[in-house]
Amino acid sequence: MGLFSELKLAVPWGHIAAKAWGSQKGSPILCLHGWLDNANSFDRLIPLLPRDFYYVAMDFGGHGLSSHYSPGLPYYYQNFVGEIRRVSAALKWDRFSIMGHSFGGTVGGMFSCMFPEMVDKLILLDSSPFALDSNPLPRVSRMERGTPGASWKPLSGTPPVCTPPFGVTARVSQELENLLTYKRKAIEHTLLVEQAAGEPRALRPQEMLQRLLKNNSHVGEECGELLLQRGATQVPAGLVLNRDRRIAWVSATALLPSRACRPLLWRNVHSRVFILFIHFQSTPSISSARSCVHTPSRSCRPTRCSSRSTEYALETRTSKLLHTRSVATLT
């Protein structure tokens, strides 16, 4: 399954680029890349997976070969979730599976919460199903809250919405201040990039590759070249990056739910979920893979695959999920 076809799907700000493997008659799987990556992230994995599926790997807006957002329009986290809905509508998919790596997994997980009836299976590679606040709100006594009762309230007909406790401790205050400072810097960064709009700087191919490898120590030279094939364009002076420079800062407008909301988010996911984390050892080709499966009626159960190459672990355990109707066979 080495052959693929390029797709270009129209959106209001331009187009979303994607590449597809397999027959359109196969069960569809949408592949979502990580932050600042592109659809080529799946080039080495897809050929190892079952051939009776139709794989489509998309470039998020501002990444790879997809159009940049219009000037002045920020890259909201929810916009990336909306891009999945646009792609599925363009491909006329009513139900499909999602395979997401890193940031792509959190976007796919949130889509599964918002459109649970559309997702059959959710496969997460080195990713959490939701972008969660890493510093959950501390416990606050009822006296500090001022009123008894739960700190969240589900709204009728909509996904649960979480609200913080009424009492605000010094730690929470500091966290909010840090968040506001980060968002301010992110907005200022966007304005500076827009003011400096012009021809992007061109670098010699080897220089750009070395910069990519230096900033991503876990990426090997072969994979770095693969990412630059789709992530950069050749010009007379060298290579220029395709991605929008405004996305260098992770979404300045993302509102992350606290970890206390995780059970409520899980409750809205109706698909089978498979999570695989790869932990590299001293030898890059050898890794330790930890996986976790979940259904709405079953909690996550971690399993471990030791001393397997990354590709082998991804191939064997992902293939099992794609071909099974029972999650129990995975563990």
DSSP-assigned beta bridge partners for residue 234: 239
141 assigned to active site: no
Helix spans in 118-169 (H): 142-145
Residue 161, CA atoms < 13 Å, CB-side half-sphere: 6
Annotated catalytic residue, options 102, 112, 127, 251:
102
Using CA atoms, how far apart are residues 34 and 132, in angstroms rounded to an integer? 16
List Cβ neighbours of 289 (8 Å cut-off, separation of 6 or more). Answer: 276, 277, 278, 279, 304, 305, 306, 308, 310, 313, 314, 317
Rounded to the nearest 10 degrees, how much is the dihedral formed by the CA atoms of 174, 175, 179, 180?
-30
Using CA atoms, how far apart are residues 182 and 96, in angstroms rounded to an integer? 36
Count the Cβ atoms, other than its own, within 10 Å of residue 37: 24
| Active-site amino acid positions | 102
